[in-house]
Amino acid sequence: MADANVLDPKNPSGPVQVRKLKVRVDRDLCIGAATCIAIAPNMFALDSDAKAIILSTSDQDSDDAIIDAAKGCPVAAVIIEDEQGNKVFPK
């Protein structure tokens, strides 16, 4: 696919593991608002379908930035779990 710099080419929108956070984008929910990209630009980008994908540079954004990006998504399409599988966001 065209988005060569995704973290997991098989799962461009995740789930991916970044440090202790498991992150995925629900592509059915994502409306391409790009708030996540403004907050965590190393992690998120939009693909050609205007859905958020997760970049190979994700570990350059802090945990706080990643969680804030999820909180900033207007449709709560960024889903984060901890190592135990507990929801970090949305709760």
Q: Which residues bind ligand SF4 (CB under 6 A)?
A: 25, 30-36, 44, 52, 73, 75, 77-78
Question: CA torsion 56→61→62→64, rounded to 10°?
Answer: -110
Minimum distance, C-beta of residue 45 to ligand SF4, in the bound complex (Å): 9
Given 3-state DSSP classes, what are the helix, strand and coil percentages for the chain, each rounded to the nearest 5?
20, 25, 55
Minimum distance, C-beta of residue 58 to ligand SF4, in the bound complex (Å): 14
Residue 16 or 25 with smaller CB distance to ligand SF4: 25
Minimum distance, C-beta of residue 85 to ligand SF4, in the bound complex (Å): 21
Q: Is the bond preceding 9 in cis, omega lying within 30 degrees of 0?
A: no
